[in-house]
């Protein structure tokens, strides 16, 4: 709709298409594209840890220089070099921290962008059969939280590993000073790890529950808002409030449980290393008095004991990230590995200047999600320029015919032909330009009326758009709006009435000027007074093209040269309205069932409407 941001960058490389590989290997090419930045960030975070570890070393040396020790009984050297060293280390740490953080975040957001873009691109290529199967809420969550958790793991796991590895150096330094004191100091650390694991075991299911209940609350709010007309019409406000209250209470329970677990474990985990600290003071103090370690060594140990708990905690965090990322990656690849079933055949040709001849030849069709055929040997022929009304009971497959003409689905048997070409042998783009559909529930984008009407031809001028709107009978009400064509219509065009929305949809199709037009109940949402106007518009729309109107009312049937009655998946009768009424009892029944009053004379029933 809106112009795309100009700084759009294509992902430098795609994903590994080999499904037998592990997900990390499949995503790795994306990370590989940012290899330099990523490695720089990792090196910086490792070096940052080393600088952090160096500070206690400087402190130790400073203290051992300043205090009398057995080897240096008469201190007196200046402390200034140590002061400068600590300052310099601080500056280096800050610089490294900047490089590491900004590098990692950049890589992480690149990854997120690339993944999301690949996912969206793939989603737009997928066919209707996929969307029939998958809930849109699911897709939104895949595009958001799953992408994020994969990105988190890939960007932060290596950094956490590098940091943890660098901290191992602290252990080496400690062992060099005193093995026994090192063992005493790190004794509580496995406890930190175990507590962390316990916490996650308790927290992990709880966080799923919280997520699910958040979604519950969101659904209730969403339905109360979008369905507010129904809620109010049935005076069901109290029921909705009760529903929300229940969902909110359930969320509250899970949220409190989650933070209970955190409140119990986090202080323990934070303070366990203090036990190590106390032990270091006790045993180290004794060793210092004995002269086996210096006071500086004690300072070194006590700093490291507290520092070391971080990598121990993050190792557990890493495990959790990896589990979550694996689950998310599986969901993402489920989408990415789904092949669209409706694609251009190799060697597909463009439909050039179509005349608009349409034929369904013994068409059999079953929706991928079901087993019962909807169409069972339907044959139908429309000569160029002809207008045919398709009539049938609800659920007989009229809209399905429209979906087959634009090749939203492929037939299971028989063929759909436009200008004598099987629709499977022409390019989708040219087919969908040649065959225009106005569906019964027109969807409008949250954008201006101009953009909505020009959707099929974004290069259209205001003049073109105005002409299309005039022909569709939409120009008058648009002119009456304060902002005219610049009026932004709501999520589903809520600011417009049903009839207005339909006219905008007709204008949108008219602008593309298709050779074949399918009107699916295009006037159903229009009141009788407006219907006349719309029919004038529709007649203008039909002029010079082949038109299939899926008709529910006599006035629409009146627009057609010929009526075809659809029943049980095939065409059971055809002729003019009067012929069918006279010789086909099922026709009268269908009209009665869909609410058309068959005794009423359509103005020009059966005759050419133009």
Question: Which listed residue (308, 374, 439, 591) binds ligand ATP by CB under 6 A?
Answer: 374
State the Cα torsion 281-286-291-296 to the nearest 10°: 0
Cβ nearer to ligand ATP, comparing 251 with 374: 374
Q: Which does residue 392 touch among ligand ATP, Mg ion, none (CB within 5 to 8 A, set by kind)?
A: ligand ATP
**What residues does 225 pair with on adjacent strands?**
none
- Residues 479, 545 contacting (CB under 8 angstroms): no
Cβ nearer to ligand ATP, comparing 260 with 441: 441
Size of the site for Mg ion (CB under 5 A): 1
Contacts of ligand ATP in 129-168 (CB under 6 A): 132
Cβ nearer to ligand ATP, comparing 196 with 392: 392
- Rounded to whole angstroms, what are the CA distances from 587 to 220, 390, 563? 44, 11, 10
Beta-carbon neighbour count of residue 192 at 10 Å?
A: 24
Cβ nearer to Mg ion, comparing 294 with 399: 399
**Which contacts (CB < 8 Å, 24+ apart) does range 587-590 have?**
587/391, 587/563, 590/391, 590/392, 590/393, 590/565
Residue 359 DSSP symbol: E
Q: How far apart are CA 426 and CA 409, in angstroms?
A: 14
Tell me how far, at minimum, the Cβ of 397 lies from ligand ATP, in Å: 4
Closest-CA residue to 337 (of 126, 152, 117): 126
Size of the site for ligand ATP (CB under 6 A): 13
Cβ nearer to ligand ATP, comparing 296 with 397: 397
Question: Which listed residue (60, 122, 313, 398) binds ligand ATP by CB under 6 A?
Answer: 398
Longest distance between any two alpha carbons in the chain, whole Å: 125
Cβ nearer to ligand ATP, comparing 397 with 436: 397
- Rounded to whole angstroms, what are the CA distances from 52 to 47, 97, 214, 268, 587? 9, 11, 41, 25, 86
Question: Which listed residue (369, 480, 528, 529) binds ligand ATP by CB under 6 A?
Answer: 369
- Residues 423, 401 contacting (CB under 8 angstroms): no
Question: Which listed residue (149, 400, 448, 546) binds ligand ATP by CB under 6 A?
Answer: 400
Tell me how far, at minimum, the Cβ of 378 lies from ligand ATP, in Å: 11
Q: How far apart are CA 373 and CA 364, in angstroms?
A: 7
Cβ nearer to ligand ATP, comparing 132 with 491: 132
When CB distances to Mg ion are compared, the closest residue is 399
Tell me how far, at minimum, the Cβ of 272 lies from ligand ATP, in Å: 57
- Residues 524, 555 contacting (CB under 8 angstroms): no
Cβ nearer to ligand ATP, comparing 339 with 441: 441
* DSSP conformation letters of 412-459: SEEEEEETTEEGGGB-HHHHHHHEEEE-SS----SSBHHHHHGGG-TT
Question: Which listed residue (284, 392, 473, 514) binds ligand ATP by CB under 6 A?
Answer: 392
Tell me how far, at minimum, the Cβ of 416 lies from ligand ATP, in Å: 15
Question: Which listed residue (80, 394, 528, 529) binds ligand ATP by CB under 6 A?
Answer: 394
Q: Which does residue 132 touch among Mg ion, ligand ATP, none (CB within 5 to 8 A, set by kind)?
A: ligand ATP
Q: Which does residue 176 touch among Mg ion, ligand ATP, none (CB within 5 to 8 A, set by kind)?
A: none
| 291: exposed, middle or buried (Cβ count in 10 Å: 0-12, 13-18, 19+) | exposed
* DSSP conformation letters of 92-111: HHHHHHHHHHHHHHHHHHHH
Question: Which listed residue (45, 166, 396, 546) binds ligand ATP by CB under 6 A?
Answer: 396
Tell me how far, at minimum, the Cβ of 396 lies from ligand ATP, in Å: 4
Q: How far apart are CA 30 and CA 117, in angstroms?
A: 12
Choose the binding region for ligand ATP from 167-175, 211-219, 365-373, 448-456 (rule: CB under 6 A): 365-373
Contacts of Mg ion in 387-446 (CB under 5 A): 399
Q: Which residues bind ligand ATP (CB under 6 A)?
A: 132, 367, 369-370, 374, 392, 394-400
Q: Which residues bind Mg ion (CB under 5 A)?
A: 399
């Amino acid at each position: 709709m809106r112009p795309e941001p100009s700084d759009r960058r294509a992902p430098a490389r795609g994903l590994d298409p080999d499904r037998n590989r592990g997900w990390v290997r499949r995503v790795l090419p994306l990370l590989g594209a940012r290899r330099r930045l990523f490695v720089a960030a990792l090196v910086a975070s490792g070096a940052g840890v080393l600088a952090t570890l160096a500070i206690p070393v400087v402190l130790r040396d400073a203290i051992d220089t300043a205090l009398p020790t057995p080897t240096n009984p008469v201190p007196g050297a200046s402390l200034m070099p140590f002061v400068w060293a600590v300052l310099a280390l601080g500056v280096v740490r800050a610089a490294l921290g900047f490089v590491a953080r900004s590098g990692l975040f950049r890589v992480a957001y690149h990854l997120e962008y690339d993944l999301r873009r690949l996912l969206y691109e793939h989603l737009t290529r997928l066919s209707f059969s996929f969307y029939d199967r998958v809930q849109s809420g699911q897709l939104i969550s895949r595009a958001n939280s799953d992408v994020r958790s994969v990105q988190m793991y890939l960007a932060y796991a290596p950094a956490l590993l590098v940091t943890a590895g660098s901290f191992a150096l602290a252990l080496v330094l400690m062992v060099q000073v005193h093995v026994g004191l090192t063992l005493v100091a790190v004794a509580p650390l496995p406890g930190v790890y175990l507590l962390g694991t316990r916490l996650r075991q308790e927290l992990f299911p709880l966080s799923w529950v919280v997520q699910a209940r958040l979604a519950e609350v969101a659904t209730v709010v969403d339905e109360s808002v979008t369905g507010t007309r129904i809620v109010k019409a049935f005076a069901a406000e109290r029921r909705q409030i009760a529903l929300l209250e229940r969902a909110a209470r359930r969320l509250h329970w899970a949220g409190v449980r989650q933070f209970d677990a955190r409140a119990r474990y986090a202080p323990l985990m934070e303070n366990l290393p203090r036990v190590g600290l106390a032990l270091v003071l006790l045993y180290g103090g004794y060793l210092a008095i004995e002269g086996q370690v210096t006071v500086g060594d004690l300072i070194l140990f006590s700093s490291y004991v507290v520092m070391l708990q971080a990598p121990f905690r993050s190792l557990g965090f890493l495990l959790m990230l990896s589990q979550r990322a694996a689950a998310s990656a599986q969901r993402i690849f489920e989408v990415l590995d789904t092949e669209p079933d409706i694609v251009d055949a190799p060697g597909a040709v463009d439909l050039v200047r179509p005349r608009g001849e349409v034929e369904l030849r013994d068409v059999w069709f079953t929706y991928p999600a079901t087993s019962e055929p909807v169409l069972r040997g339907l044959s139908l022929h429309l000569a160029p320029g002809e207008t045919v009304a398709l009539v049938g009971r609800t659920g007989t497959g009229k809209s399905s015919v429209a979906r087959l003409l634009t090749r939203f689905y492929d037939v299971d048997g028989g063929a759909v032909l436009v200008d004598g070409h099987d629709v499977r042998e022409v390019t989708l783009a040219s087919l969908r330009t040649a065959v225009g559909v106005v569906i019964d529930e027109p969807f409008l984008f949250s954008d201006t009326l101009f953009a909505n009407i020009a959707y099929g031809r974004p290069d259209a001028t205001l003049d073109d758009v105005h002409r299309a709107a005039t022909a569709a009978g939409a120009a008058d009400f648009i002119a009456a709006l304060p902002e005219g064509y610049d009026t932004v219509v709501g999520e589903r065009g809520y600011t417009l009435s049903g009839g207005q929305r339909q006219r905008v949809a007709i204008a949108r199709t008219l602008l593309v000027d298709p050779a074949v037009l399918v009107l699916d109940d295009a006037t159903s949402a229009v009141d009788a007074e407006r219907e006349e106007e719309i029919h004038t518009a529709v007649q203008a729309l039909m002029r010079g093209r082949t038109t299939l109107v899926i008709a529910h009312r006599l006035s629409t049937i009146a627009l057609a040269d010929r009526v075809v009655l659809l029943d049980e998946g095939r065409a059971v009768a055809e002729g003019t309205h009067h012929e069918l009424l006279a010789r086909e009892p099922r026709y009268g029944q269908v009209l009665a069932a869909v609410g058309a009053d068959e005794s009423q004379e359509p103005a020009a029933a059966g005759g050419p409407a133009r």
